A and B are shown apart, each in its own frame.
Chain A
Amino acid sequence: MSTVLSVRGLDKRFGAVVAADALSLDIAPGQKVSLIGANGAGKTTFVNMVTGYLKPDSGSITLDGIDIGRRSPRSVARLGISRSFQIPQLFIELTAAENLAVAVSGMQARTLSLVSPAEAGGRRDKAIELLQRFGLANLADRPISELAGGVRKLIDIAMALVRRPKLLLLDEPTSGVSAEEKFATMDRVIHAVAPDAATIVFVEHDMEIVSRYADRVVAFYSGRILADGNPQDVLKDPEVRRYVTGGAQ
């Protein structure tokens, strides 16, 4: 059994709030896993811990066998985990291409060049190529400040893709996107990610998106895993209905 990500006994408390309670989880390569749960259930904390932004109180996180529980976001990124954000984290004053060029710069191990122009060295080409995957190449030279939220969301995800990560974590990829656009957006994302064949974990609130795009669903509640399986089973689970989806009959 090969796993990309292996989490064992993860604990995290913020004062009285239990964000993670003996969490254990294995994710196999190539899977498309959706994390669902009400607000405060611990999904984003989980993502934060996996990407090194938060350190777990106890427990272990391993990526392809390497322990990453205590590493910094920078270190974790270099090992092959990338994430996108619920609220896009971009360099607002820079252009879309420049944003991606910075991401490309981040890929190399050597120090950044003090001389070589920002978009030279193939960086612009790579930036445009990524934008093209999302159908945004025509916006390459527009500053982020001039772009709409939905586009920013996609660029945010594109930034995460630059490193060709082993594991891609998407935090609510369709939040803020209008209902009509959701499927189109998610289609674009899945399509853009396909060439790199990464393992995808995405946090989602929209159950239609979940059932359509995930091949595995993990439901969170109070820092614990309530259910874990294929979308049909999990979404029908009475406890999940009760605590997560608040399901209609």
Chain B
Amino acid sequence: MRQVHPLVMLVPVIAATLFGRMLPTWTLSLATIAASNALVALGIVVLARTGNVSFGQGLVFAAGGYGVALIANSWGITDAVAQMLIGAVCGGLIGLAIGPLISRYSGIFFGMLTLALSMVFYGALVKTTVLGGSDGFNVVRPSLFGISFVDPREADFMLYAVSVVTTGLAGIAAAVLFRSEFGLASLAVRENNLRVEYLGISANRIITINFVIAAVFAGASGAFALMAQRHIDPQFAYWTTSGEFVFVAVLAGYQSVAAVFVASLALELVRSFSNLYLPNTWQLVLGVFLLAVILFLPRGIGSLWTRQRRKRAESSAATSTAAEEGVAS
């Protein structure tokens, strides 16, 4: 497998950032949203390699957003990078808190539990008047390294740059992770978590760490969403928000980091264009798009350029039933 060196991957990141200078404002906003969605989806992909899909990333996404919003408003921290880091930390703390709990569940139960927890958070947020209830509240414009950006174009570019660089770095980190010892063990957990235990490795620990990584990414992304909208509300934690992130991850497939960016960008383009030409149809177009991908690219967009990895579903299912038979005869 051609393995690209991590430092080389910085090139497209820098290029994309500089390229933003030439883009019109509406494209910049679109790209910023795409980058921040990609960040969450990337986390989902990281976690999915252990065989567990989180349908509740809205929980940490909102935790990041609300955390940053509260801290920004209370302590007047407006620096974009600082906000991103705070978001990441908030997400990470939640991840550490619930990771050990949910890592004990697998497959569909894992998914349902993450969903339930995100909705618990949503329900709590909606009724918390101190946080603005279902209306949420506003925050001020972000700044960068002490500079305030009054010109909307400059402000948009600043946000674009910070989000693209952050997501890019996260992507590089993910690529390194996928190739690492830990990354291989994560795949092993998906294939046969029983054997992993028999080899002296804690499958739960691996799942927890992956979950925390996903939470950190989602928390940082929550900060970006906050900065872009300058507004936070409980919708960040709603199931449809979580669903969209999973949608991007599924669209991308689980093999290639680059595919996550492509998928996220594709989603935003589809959304923008259908909103432009046929209002109230972007979901319809997206739905049809999803069906098309499921039919023709079952392994996601990434499969277009990643070496075909072998049959997934049947083998994993066979292995897990075999695991039961193998130890219980």
Using a CB–CB cutoff of 8 Å, the interface residues on chain A facing chain B are: 39, 44, 48, 51, 53, 72-74, 77-78, 82-83, 85-94, 98-99, 101-103, 105-107, 111-121, 123, 143, 145-146, 159, 162-163, 171
Complex CA distance for A162 and B200, rounded to whole angstroms: 11
| B325 nearest in chain A by CB position | A87
Contact with A along B63-107 (1 / 0, CB 8 A): 000000000000000000000000000000000000000000000
- Beta-carbon contacts of B175-208 to A below 8 Å, as 1s and 0s? 0110111111101100110111111111001100
B326 surroundings in chain A (CB, below 8 A): 85-89, 171
Docked complex Cα distance between A89 and B309 (Å): 19
Instruction: Report chain B residues within 8 Å CB of A114.
Output: 176-177, 180-183, 209
Q: Which B residues are in CB contact (< 8 Å) with A112?
A: 180-182, 185, 201, 206
Q: Name the A residues within 8 Å of B309 (CB-CB).
A: 93, 143
Is B2 located at the chain interface by the 8 A CB criterion? no
B188 x A94 contact (CB < 8 A)? yes
Residue of B nearest to A117 (CB): B179
CA distance A78 to B200 in the complex (A): 6
- A91–B315 CA distance with the chains assembled, in angstroms: 9
Identify the closest chain B residue to A79 (Cβ).
B200
In the A-B complex, the 4 residue pairs with the smallest Cβ-Cβ separation, listed nearest first, are A106-B199, A118-B184, A91-B191, A87-B326
Query: Hey, which chain A residues are within 8 Å of B199, CB to CB?
Result: 77, 102-103, 105-106, 159, 162-163
Task: Report the stretch among B52-60, B158-166, B238-246, B316-324 that lies at the interface.
Answer: B316-324
Known: A77-B199, A106-B200. A113 touches B191 (CB 8 A): no
11 residue pairs from A and B, CB less than 8 Å apart: A53-B327, A77-B200, A83-B198, A85-B327, A89-B195, A89-B322, A90-B195, A90-B319, A94-B191, A145-B315, A146-B310
**A93 contacts B192, CB within 8 Å?**
no
Whether A102 contacts B194 by the Cβ 8 Å rule is no
Q: A89-B195, A92-B316, A94-B188 are in contact. Are A39 and B329 (CB under 8 A)?
A: yes
Count CB-based A-B contacts (< 8 Å): 134
Choose from B177, B182, B187, B322 the contact partner of A87 (Cβ within 8 Å).
B322
Bound CA span A93–B187, Å: 9
Contact of A113 among B182, B310, B315, B318 (CB under 8 A): B182
Contacts of B318 in A (CB 8 A): 92
Q: Do B181 and A123 have beta carbons less than 8 Å apart? A: yes
- B181 proximity list for chain A (CB < 8 A): 101, 105, 112-114, 116-118, 120-121, 123
Chain B residues engaging chain A, CB cutoff 8 angstroms: 176-177, 179-185, 187-188, 191-192, 194-202, 205-206, 209, 309-312, 315-316, 318-319, 322-323, 325-329
The distance from the CB of A119 to the nearest CB of chain B, in whole angstroms, is: 8
Cross-chain contact B185 with A74 (CB below 8 angstroms): no
Residues of A contacting B312 in the complex (Cβ-Cβ under 8 angstroms): 93
Q: Residues of A contacting B209 with CB < 8 Å?
A: 114
| Distance from A47 Cβ to chain B, minimum over Cβ atoms (Å) | 8
Chain B residues contacting A93 (CB-CB under 8 Å) are: 187, 191, 309-310, 312, 315
Taken together as a complex, chains A and B put the C-alpha atoms of A107 and B201 apart, in Å, by 8
Beyond A53-B327, A92-B315, A92-B319, whether A116 also contacts B185 by CB under 8 A is: no
Q: Is the CB of B201 within 8 A of A94?
A: no
Write the nearest CB–CB distance from B268 to chain A, whole angstroms.
30
* Interface contacts beyond A120-B181, A162-B199: sample of 14 additional A-B pairs, CB < 8 Å, sorted by A: A39-B329, A44-B329, A53-B327, A90-B195, A91-B188, A91-B195, A93-B312, A102-B188, A103-B199, A105-B184, A111-B205, A112-B180, A118-B179, A163-B199
| B-chain residues with CB within 8 Å of residue A88 when the two chains form the complex | 326
Instruction: Find out whether the CB atom of B310 lies under 8 angstroms from the CB atom of A145.
Output: yes
Q: A residues within 8 A CB of B327?
A: 44, 48, 53, 85
In whole angstroms, what is the CA distance A163 to B201 when docked? 12
User: In the assembled complex, which residues on chain A have CB atoms less than 8 Å from the CB atom of B179?
Assistant: 117-118
CB distance from A33 to the nearest CB of B (A): 19
CB distance from B88 to the nearest CB of A (A): 16
- Minimum CB–CB distance for B119 against chain A, Å: 31
A118 touches B183 (CB 8 A): yes
A17 → chain B closest CB, angstroms: 12
Taking CB atoms, residues of chain B closer than 8 Å to A72 are 197
Contact B315 A89 (CB under 8 A): no
A98-B180 Cα distance, complex, nearest whole Å: 11
Residues of B within 8 A of A111 (CB): 205
The interface residues of chain A lying within 8 Å CB-to-CB of B192 are 89-92
Instruction: Output the least CB separation between A63 and chain B (Å).
Output: 14
Instruction: Report whether A115 and B176 are in contact in the complex, using a CB–CB cutoff of 8 Å.
Output: yes
* Residues in chain B near residue A87, CB distance under 8 A: 322, 325-326
Q: Which residues of B contact A92 (CB under 8 A)?
A: 191-192, 310, 315-316, 318-319
CB-CB nearest in chain A for B179: A117
Q: Which of A74, A94, A99, A143 contacts B197 (CB 8 A)?
A: A74
A83→B325 CA distance, assembly (Å): 15
On chain B, the residues within 8 Å of A73 by CB distance are: 194, 197-198
- Closest chain-A Cβ to B103's Cβ sits at a distance in Å of 14
What CA separation (Å) do A106 and B181 show in the bound complex? 10
* Most B Cβ at <10 Å: residue of A73, A89, A117: A89
